[in-house]
């Protein structure tokens, strides 16, 4: 079995992880300093969000030099040291690969915009205007048009994200070779793979048709740039030229991909990647008919979550491989979104962790989730840092005169800064994240929720994660077992088995705040199976009656 199927990945957002030089910004030495902590958690792989040189319009997702480290994060020597120290502990490191766009401050773009005859012109996507306006009605993910007019050459360039993130033109073979060369540079240093940013946006429909989308001036033209005509061809080329020469973990961020599409991308022969991040469950609590679905929040239901996750389990089995995640740096904290961040914070954080670690696929833990960090409610827009949040507020409030309180509430529930507040290490000043002024406010709940307290409490969320990670190593059925749903109609309980040749695992998850009385599933009567892990003290009674947010994992040997 490939190592990346057996691994647990821990995602680090370096800016918010740990600051060693007091400038209020996390750094690479901060990651190195916490390797022992990560070793205690026992994760196998670290995914570093972008650490390359960047003007930080979108916190490193706007790269101005792929071969240099962002000075705020340290130097290339710091990076080499981190990689060596991680490897010495048996921890692998994957990098973020952001190649749908660069920063507008990248020398390629600087040259490209100077003249239509620059050899770099065609590294980006330029079009003339239409009737004195943008070439089409495509909207940017961060608001406004996806085209920006550049007076130097009287043309528009495409930016699916901020206007400081011009899209690269993958149609250009010279550009593709530059990217492969850069990938070899990092892989040559010994990095163990890539998380590929917005990878299914690389191929746009060449005629750039108008978006069908919503009425209104601009709309996000997913149907014209997701999974485009040449995507698989580009990725197969990347595999041939780069990926196949190393032993790597590759995971592509791929919104709008269904299981059939994922199977195509991750098929060991015809595909190119090990796995993708799918987005179906991230859209569960949004209103798709709204012009800005991402900022809406509608109640989600367990039956829908179960249907989505189950579909991915079943349809990808034997064809590709799943990645498992409930949060990352772009979405709210998972305990606030899918659990209960009040009274049941601890049991619900453990319940979600159980789900994350017992489905088939590779689990991704987002920093801070292992101590049950929650969303934050900043009181004013000035406390927010994310370009997406700031643009949204500007559009809603400043430009359209909307209600500031309502917009702030949207940021409280859905904003990306929820996940980006500093990692809470101690109950001391700034949660022990920095001795300086943190670049973004610390969540005020840090005196209760922090690593120091978690490590000291044997019942903490942290030690429960550590147990889950170890179970994965002890019981191959967690990696390879076939998934089967039980209790398909239960309103609050998600129950499933995972079965391989000699073992069956039973997972019971009560997503409700009420008790749930169940019949014992076949073969799991008291005495027939072993309780491997649970988030409440074991009950001695013989009835099966799950407590609020209770999670249990049982194991049964199939051949005595």
Residues assigned a catalytic role = 197, 253
CB of 196 to ligand TEU, least distance (A): 10
Tell me how crowded residue 277 is: count the other CB atoms within 10 A of its CB: 21
β-pairing verdict for 52-53 and 65-69: antiparallel
Structure tokens at 506: 């039973």
157 binds ligand TEU (CB under 6 A): no
Q: Which is nearer to ligand TEU, 255 or 361 (CB)?
A: 255
Structure tokens at 458: 């044997």
Q: What is the DSSP annotation of 138-153?
A: BBPTTSSBSEEEETTT
- Of residues 377, 370, 297, 310, the one with CA closest to residue 337: 297
CB of 198 to ligand TEU, least distance (A): 5
Distance CA 30, CA 13 (A): 11
Binding string, 19-58, against ligand TEU, x = CB under 6 A? ---------------------------------------x
Q: Which is nearer to ligand TEU, 198 or 348 (CB)?
A: 198
- Of residues 67, 74, 123, the one with CA closest to residue 100: 123
Looking only at residues 241 through 270 of this chain, which bind ligand TEU when binding is defined by CB under 6 A? 253, 255
Tokens 């902590």 identify what position? Answer: 37
Tokens 């943008």 identify what position? Answer: 134
Residue partners of 174: CB distance under 8 A and separation at least 6 = 119, 122, 123
Distance CA 338, CA 316 (A): 24
Binding string, 277-316, against ligand TEU, x = CB under 6 A? -----------------x----------------------
Conformational region of residue 468, where left means phi above 0, alpha means psi within -120 to 50, and beta covers everything else: alpha
317 binds ligand TEU (CB under 6 A): no
Structure tokens at 296: 């809406």
Q: Which is nearer to ligand TEU, 142 or 554 (CB)?
A: 142
Longest distance between any two alpha carbons in the chain, whole Å: 79
139 binds ligand TEU (CB under 6 A): no
Q: Is-contact 87 190, C-beta < 8 A?
A: yes
Q: Which is nearer to ligand TEU, 293 or 303 (CB)?
A: 293
**Options 330, 395, 480, 539; binder of ligand TEU; rule CB under 6 A:** 330
Residue partners of 225: CB distance under 8 A and separation at least 6 = 160, 201, 203, 204, 205
CB of 536 to ligand TEU, least distance (A): 34
Structure tokens at 174: 């010279």
- Of residues 272, 108, 246, the one with CA closest to residue 185: 246
CB of 103 to ligand TEU, least distance (A): 11
Looking only at residues 359 through 388 of this chain, which bind ligand TEU when binding is defined by CB under 6 A? 388
Q: Which is nearer to ligand TEU, 98 or 232 (CB)?
A: 98
CB of 91 to ligand TEU, least distance (A): 22
CB of 315 to ligand TEU, least distance (A): 22
Q: Which is nearer to ligand TEU, 198 or 367 (CB)?
A: 198
Distance CA 13, CA 327 (A): 12
SS3 category, 376:
coil
Looking only at residues 345 through 364 of this chain, which bind ligand TEU when binding is defined by CB under 6 A? none
CB of 296 to ligand TEU, least distance (A): 13
- How many residues bind ligand TEU (CB under 6 A)? The answer is 14
141 binds ligand TEU (CB under 6 A): yes
What end-to-end distance do the CA atoms of the chain give, in Å? 25
Q: Is-contact 141 220, C-beta < 8 A?
A: yes
- Of residues 359, 183, 349, 190, the one with CA closest to residue 272: 183
How far, CA to CA in Å, does 111 sit from each of 58, 108, 117, 175, 297?
A: 22, 5, 10, 14, 43
198 binds ligand TEU (CB under 6 A): yes
**Options 47, 61, 66, 494; binder of ligand TEU; rule CB under 6 A:** 61
Looking only at residues 477 through 536 of this chain, which bind ligand TEU when binding is defined by CB under 6 A? none
464 binds ligand TEU (CB under 6 A): no
CB of 197 to ligand TEU, least distance (A): 5
Looking only at residues 394 through 453 of this chain, which bind ligand TEU when binding is defined by CB under 6 A? 416
**Options 192, 197, 264, 417; binder of ligand TEU; rule CB under 6 A:** 197
CB of 389 to ligand TEU, least distance (A): 9
Q: Which is nearer to ligand TEU, 11 or 322 (CB)?
A: 11
Q: Which is nearer to ligand TEU, 14 or 255 (CB)?
A: 255
> What does the binding site for ligand TEU look like in residue numbers (CB under 6 A)?
58, 61, 98, 141, 161, 197-198, 253, 255, 294, 329-330, 388, 416
């Amino acid at each position: 079995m490939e190592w990346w199927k057996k691994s647990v990945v821990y995602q680090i957002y370096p800016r918010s992880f740990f600051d060693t030089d007091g400038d209020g910004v996390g750094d690479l030495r901060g990651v190195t300093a916490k390797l022992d902590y990560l070793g205690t958690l026992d994760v196998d792989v670290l995914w570093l969000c972008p650490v390359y040189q960047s003007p930080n319009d979108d916190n490193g997702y706007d790269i101005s030099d792929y071969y240099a480290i962002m000075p705020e994060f340290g130097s290339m020597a710091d990076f080499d040291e981190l990689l060596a120290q991680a490897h010495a502990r048996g921890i692998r490191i994957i990098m973020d690969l952001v190649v749908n766009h660069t920063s507008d401050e990248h020398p390629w773009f600087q040259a490209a915009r100077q003249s239509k005859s620059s050899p770099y012109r065609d590294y980006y996507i330029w079009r003339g205007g239409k009737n004195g306006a943008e070439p089409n009605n495509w909207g940017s993910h961060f608001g406004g048009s996806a085209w920006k007019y550049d007076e130097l050459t009287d043309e528009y360039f495409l930016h699916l994200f901020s206007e400081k993130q011009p899209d690269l033109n993958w149609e250009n073979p010279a550009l593709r070779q530059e990217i492969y060369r850069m990938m070899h540079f990092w892989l040559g240093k010994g990095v163990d793979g890539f998380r590929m940013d917005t990878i299914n946006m690389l191929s746009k429909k060449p005629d750039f048709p108008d978006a069908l989308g919503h009425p209104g001036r601009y709309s996000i033209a997913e149907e014209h740039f997701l999974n485009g005509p040449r995507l698989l061809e580009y990725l197969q080329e990347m595999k041939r030229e780069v990926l196949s020469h190393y032993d790597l973990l590759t995971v592509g961020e791929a919104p709008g991909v269904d299981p059939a599409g994922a199977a195509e991308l991750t098929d060991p022969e015809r595909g190119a990647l090990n796995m993708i991040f799918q987005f179906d469950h991230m859209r569960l609590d949004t209103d798709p008919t709204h012009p800005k679905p991402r900022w809406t929040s509608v109640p989600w239901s367990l039956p829908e979550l179960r249907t989505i996750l189950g579909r991915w389990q079943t349809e990808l089995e034997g064809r590709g491989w799943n990645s498992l995640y409930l949060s990352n740096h772009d979405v709210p904290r998972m305990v606030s979104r899918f659990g209960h961040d009040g009274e049941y914070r601890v049991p619900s954080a453990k319940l979600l962790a159980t789900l994350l670690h017992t489905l088939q696929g590779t689990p991704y833990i987002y920093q801070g989730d292992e101590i049950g960090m929650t969303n934050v409610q900043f009181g004013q827009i000035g406390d927010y840092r994310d370009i997406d949040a700031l643009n949204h507020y500007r559009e809603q409030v400043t430009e359209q005169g909307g209600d500031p309180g309502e917009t702030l509430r949207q940021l409280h529930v859905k904003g990306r800064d929820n996940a980006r507040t500093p990692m809470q290490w101690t109950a001391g000043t700034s949660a022990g994240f920095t001795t300086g002024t943190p670049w973004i406010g610390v969540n005020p709940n840090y005196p209760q929720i922090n690593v120091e307290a978690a490590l000291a409490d044997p019942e903490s969320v942290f030690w429960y994660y550590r147990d889950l990670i170890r179970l994965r190593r002890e019981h191959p059925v967690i990696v390879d077992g076939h998934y089967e749903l039980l209790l398909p109609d239960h309103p609050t309980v998600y129950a499933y088995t995972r079965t391989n040749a000699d073992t069956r695992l039973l997972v019971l998850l009560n997503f409700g705040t009420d008790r749930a009385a169940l019949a014992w599933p076949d073969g799991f009567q008291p005495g027939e199976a072993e309780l491997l892990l649970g988030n409440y003290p074991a009950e001695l009674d013989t009835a099966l009656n799950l407590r609020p947010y209770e999670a249990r994992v049982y194991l049964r040997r199939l051949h005595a």
